[in-house]
A and B are shown apart, each in its own frame.
Chain A
Amino acid sequence: MKAEEKFKDHIISILVYNKPGVAAKICGLITRRGFNIESFNGGKEKDKDMFRIVIVVKGDDRSIEQIQKQLNKVLETVKVTPIDQKYKVEREMALVKIKLSDGSRNDIFQLVEIFKGKIVDTHPAGIVAEITGTTEKIDAFIDLIPNNSLLMISRSGIVAMNRWAKTASSEYKRYKEADNGKNLHRTGCRS
């Protein structure tokens, strides 16, 4: 197996109590166990005491499992949910500030159109485009903007969750039973 195949991006969704310093704890834990955080974001749940963090880290399956267990040990952690590579819904949003010149104006407008983006700010000198989609789609859009036109990018990081097929299907229930308590991060047990 090639190294790049072994180290895949893994998305982990973590439900925590909304306490001061909790994001620092989660970030610090992942960093000091030797992982790079590829993406990090979070927001309040409907219950304002709760906060959900979605992170993307690179690693092999074994070390990702270890990270999940360690995340579970953080006092404020309520639940750690790994996002399934296949059965997931994943989005990222980017605001891209683009300088316009007479020559490039139409090309840029067309690009935004093709990527089903929106123009959310206009000015004689340029625009701000809003692009939503997978990380790859946003990367592709940014790649197509000429360097001398690209002024600033602000990306949200990945938000993701498991599909219904993952959380509710009978197959999943069977899998859970066959799992027999071995897959410890799912049972939410901790020490």
Chain B
Amino acid sequence: MYINGARIVVESLFKEKVDTVFCYIGGAVIPIFDALHKHGRNLRLIQPRHEQGGTHAADGYARSTGKTGVVIVTSGPGATNTITGITTAYMDSIPMVVITGQVPTGNLGTDAFQEADITGITIPITKANFLVKNIEDLAPIMKQAFHIARTGRPGPVVVDIPSDIQKEKTRFDYPEKFALSSYKPKENGHPGQIKAAMGLIQKAKRPLILVGGGVISSGSTDIVNQFIDRFGIPAVATLMGRGINPRKEELYLGGIGMHGSQYGNYAIQKTDLLIALGSRFSDRILGDVVSFAPKAKIIHVDIDPAEIGKNKNVHVPIVGNIRSVVSKLLEMVEVEHRYGDWILELTNFRNNHPMTYTPSDGLKPQYLIQLANNMFPEDAIVVSDVGQNQMWVSQYYQFKHPRCYLSSGGLGTMGFALPASIGAKIGNPHREVLMVAGDGGFQMNIQELATIRKYGLNIKMLVLDNAYLGMVRQWQQLLCKKRYMETEMMGNPDFAEIARVFGIKSRSISRPDEAETAMSELAESSEAMLIHAKVEREENVLPMVPAGKSLDSALTQI
């Protein structure tokens, strides 16, 4: 086939079995869109209202389906608008390929119109990036981009294609195999290390499994559930690892870290063997690195060798795919359930320190999340924004399956939820999608309401409006004696009215007695709907471990 670069892009997408592309046109990608028009009939194109929205949508699509999110944008501002979305995906190891247009090769480096050095800009926030300077390189680069994005520790890859390369013709041969000797992710764990881990597990009296995002990205939730059930070892999860669901309820202790459950953090502090699966020991779960899991030996399974010992020293590191390592561990030994006392201790502690809040006359955000948890189906996808809303979802919504909770964990990107929920719905048209955002983050990508309208997406939206940037306000209450500097959101619009203007059904509530009917209307609506909930303004997320403090020192009131 003798075709131009633009069509090579389209044909490569077919070769990579891409069916959905999030794209925003511009001058430097006109040839690609022309090729999409002529040859891309089998591709579903989703046009957001802003490139950042498009990138988050591709991210939400990737997180919820496990497929690679694909974005096509133009050069210059189109490309720079994707930066926040790319960084969000990078921090949470989400597979994504971002194709950017670029000024013609002859104009590179001349500060041409809409020129930005996107490969330079994205070096620290991509797993790899490429500037295509030669038409012959295009097909191999597309192959590499998808391979690198998907394999090993997944991540975003940028392919920058100058517009003259898009028009130039060559013979199209899509490489069957990926050939780059310097890239070889290690899939199988070292047998010696796995044996050492097994030894520790057999000796442990109070073992605990820490489930991180790697468990989800490697598709290992089922096998980790099996591992928990088989050995009777209790588990906790990071924000990115939600979806663990062992048969015995007492074996799952929820989240840990800054806003983790008291019983989850208790388990961490008391365990004598922490088995960390695909977690990077971020500062939000460590608190104080020295006093984290002080009594524990640590086994750390991760596919990225650079994560081992980065934040926390570990005793038995295993570099490999979690699925392969855990299945080896399952093969190796039969262990009878003998952690009865440990589990009893944890259960007792949990009964005495439940996750709870104090009801009042005001509308409590936690109550709304609990209602949503009861009313939405088990396989619903919940997309939270960042801040208090995110933490309340993580505390009061029970996720029974992987890829049901999408949240910007590493970067903490406000404005993530609305566009990401669009991607989730596009990828899962038959599942319920619930977006939860605060009034601050919702306004950061509010233009995407038009995208929901355009594609008739049945997305349920819950806006928790306290007219504050609530999480920072909470910190100001704790650390600055309530000097609320620039956290009050004066001039917020009426979000229900905004939704109506975009042609989306909506409802406002502000009293607890309105909540149940409103939430059930939301859950049962057959079209997109938004609930504008005016919640109690100064509600805090508790418990809270102040940044850098030991997990023992959680505050239960501020």
Contacts and interface: CB of A to CB of B under 8 A. Distances in A.
Interface stretch (B63-71, B186-194, B355-363, B530-538): B186-194
A189 B184 contact: yes
A191 B305 contact: yes
B123 interface: yes
A72 B124 contact: no
A181 B305 contact: no
A180 B184 CA distance: 20
A34 interface: no
Contacts of B128: 75
Nearest to A67: B306
A70 B306 contact: yes
Interface in A4-21: 16-17, 20-21
A62 interface: yes
Interface in B99-139: 119-120, 123-124, 127-128, 131, 133
B319 A184 contact: yes
B193 A191 contact: no
A190 B148 contact: no
Contact of A190 (B120, B186, B190, B317): B186
A103 B184 CA distance: 63
B193 A72 contact: no
B557 interface: no
Contact of A69 (B127, B190, B193, B305): B305
B184 A25 contact: no
A78 B305 contact: no
Interface in A32-78: 32, 62, 65-66, 69-70, 72-73, 75-78
Interface string A64-108: 011001101101111000000000000000000000000000000
Given A25-B123, A181-B192, A191 B182 contact: no
A119 B303 CA distance: 54
B123 A28 contact: yes
Contacts of A181: 190, 192-193
A182 interface: yes
Nearest to A63: B310
Contact of A189 (B119, B133, B192, B319): B319
Interface of B: 119-120, 123-124, 127-128, 131, 133, 148, 152-153, 180-186, 190, 192-193, 303-306, 308-310, 317, 319
A20 B186 CA distance: 27
Given A72-B305, A75-B183, A184-B305, A21 B119 contact: yes
A17 B308 CA distance: 26
A100 B317 CA distance: 61
29 contacts: A17-B182, A20-B131, A21-B119, A24-B120, A24-B123, A25-B123, A29-B124, A62-B309, A66-B306, A69-B310, A70-B306, A73-B306, A75-B128, A75-B148, A75-B180, A75-B182, A76-B182, A180-B190, A181-B192, A182-B193, A182-B317, A184-B319, A189-B319, A190-B184, A190-B305, A191-B153, A191-B186, A191-B303, A191-B319
A42 B167 CA distance: 36
Given A70-B306, A180-B192, A190-B184, 13 more contacts: A16-B182, A21-B119, A21-B131, A65-B309, A73-B306, A75-B148, A181-B192, A181-B193, A184-B305, A184-B317, A189-B186, A190-B183, A191-B186
Q: Which of A32, A69, A72, A188 has the largest number of chain B CB atoms within 10 A?
A: A69
Contacts of A21: 119-120, 123, 131
Nearest to A28: B123
B152 A191 contact: yes
Contacts of A73: 304, 306
Contacts of A75: 127-128, 148, 180, 182-183
Contacts of B148: 75
Contacts of B192: 180-181
A69 B304 CA distance: 9
B192 to A, nearest CB: 5
A185 B305 contact: yes
Contacts of A76: 182
A24 B120 CA distance: 9
A72 B123 contact: no
Given A17-B182, A24-B120, A180-B192, A189 B305 contact: yes
Interface in A171-191: 180-182, 184-185, 188-191
B182 A78 contact: yes
Nearest to B182: A78
Contact of B181 (A70, A78, A182, A191): A78
A185 B309 CA distance: 12
Contacts of B190: 180-181
A191 B185 contact: yes
A184 B308 contact: yes
A124 to B, nearest CB: 43
Closest 5 CB pairs of A and B: A69-B306, A191-B152, A191-B304, A181-B190, A189-B186
A70 B309 CA distance: 12
Nearest to A62: B309
A24 to B, nearest CB: 7
Interface centre among A75, A182, A185 (most CB of B within 10 A): A75
B28 to A, nearest CB: 20
Contacts of A77: 182
A53 to B, nearest CB: 14
A137 B256 CA distance: 55
B279 to A, nearest CB: 15
Contact of B124 (A32, A62, A78, A188): A32
A24 B309 CA distance: 26
A28 B128 CA distance: 14
Nearest to B311: A66
A21 B131 CA distance: 10
A70 B127 CA distance: 11
